[in-house]
Amino acid sequence: MAKAPKAIGTPGAPRNPAWTRDELILALDLYLRHRVSPPSKNSAAVKELSSILNELGRAVQLDDKRTFRNPAGVYMKMMNFRRFDPTYTAQGRVGLRRGNRDEGVVWRLFANDPQRLTEVSQAIRGCISGRDDASAYLAEDEPGIQDAEEGRILTRVYRQRERSRKLVEQVKAMALKQSGRLACAACGFDFIDAYGPSASGIIDVHHTKPLHTLVEGHRTSVHDLALLCANCHRVVHASRPWLSVEEVSALRTARRK
Ligand SMILES: [Zn+2]
Ligand SMILES: [Zn+2]
């Protein structure tokens, strides 16, 4: 009989996978909420985050690489952020030196914008605790789409919203009413101009609002959406951070000079 694999976290077992962006955001949020006096390994706050992260792993990791974030690991990750914290290092202390590269990126993106960090963390937590549409983040990752700065789970919710048939139809109807055509906001491409009536109605809809505002409790207005051709839309989401419609438009203009 084959031996059962060792559980992750026990000696000799495979290492836990690297911390994901979503997990790092939640760990930074916990750290900054208790910056002066971080909670201990055995505190309720650290245990709560450990349990949230294990749920997150089950929701998002479909490649069978189960994560196991025990309270000791959560505590250590939270304390890893100290090495970037000027209120700590100013006293001549250095914090833990080891950590993953994305920790510094997450610190730079969110540490000086506590409101955004709080909102993004709450949005991620809201997805995990099942208050949003669970099917949204069980979808496969799409090739060519980079995860947003805000992590994987919000990226999946976001992409699902972009493809919501009802919203897409509303935006197209409004554009047709206003201008009589469906043209790309970045490059002006119009499928009917290029291919004739067989291409009628073809255009992508792109959300321009921050990801965390797409979860429950926020309404999307048609003014937060842009029409994009498939090519420009792909370019928007192909790098991290995602590009704005204006940036994609500028890239094209620069190439044509
Ligand atoms: Zn375009
Ligand atoms: Zn988009």
Ligand number with the minimum distance to the CA of 207: 2
Q: What is the pLDDT of residue 66?
A: 54
Sign of the C-alpha dihedral, residues 204, 208, 209, 211?
Answer: positive
CA of 71 from ligand 2 middle (Å) equals 36
CA of 232 from ligand 1 middle (Å) equals 4
Q: What is the pLDDT of residue 89?
A: 84
Structure letter (DSSP) for residue 205? E
150-180 core/surface letters (b: 16 or more CB in 10 A; e: else): bbbbbbbbbbbbbeeeebbeebbeebeeeee
Q: What is the pLDDT of residue 36?
A: 87
CA of 249 from ligand 1 middle (Å) equals 8
Ligand number with the minimum distance to the CA of 205: 2
Ligand number with the minimum distance to the CA of 158: 2
Low-confidence ranges of the chain (pLDDT < 50): 1-9, 62-64, 131-134
Ligand number with the minimum distance to the CA of 188: 1
pTM of the complete model: 0.82
CA of 228 from ligand 1 middle (Å) equals 5
| Residue 51 host element (H or E) | helix 44-60
* Cα 31 → chain centroid: 20
Q: Where are the alpha helices (DSSP H) in 70-151?
A: 71-80, 86-89, 101-110, 114-128
CA of 130 from ligand 1 middle (Å) equals 36
Is the Cβ–Cβ distance between 131 and 125 less than 8 Å? no
Neighbouring residues of 35: CB distance < 8 A, sequence distance ≥ 6: 85, 87
Strand partners, 228: 204
Ligand number with the minimum distance to the CA of 248: 1
Q: What is the pLDDT of residue 194?
A: 96
Q: What is the pLDDT of residue 24?
A: 96
* Cβ neighbours of 24 (radius 10 Å): 24
CA of 209 from ligand 2 middle (Å) equals 10
Q: What is the pLDDT of residue 139?
A: 56
Q: What's the rounded Cα separation, in Å, for the pair 244 and 227?
A: 12
Q: What is the pLDDT of residue 4?
A: 47
Q: What is the pLDDT of residue 65?
A: 52
Q: What is the pLDDT of residue 245?
A: 96
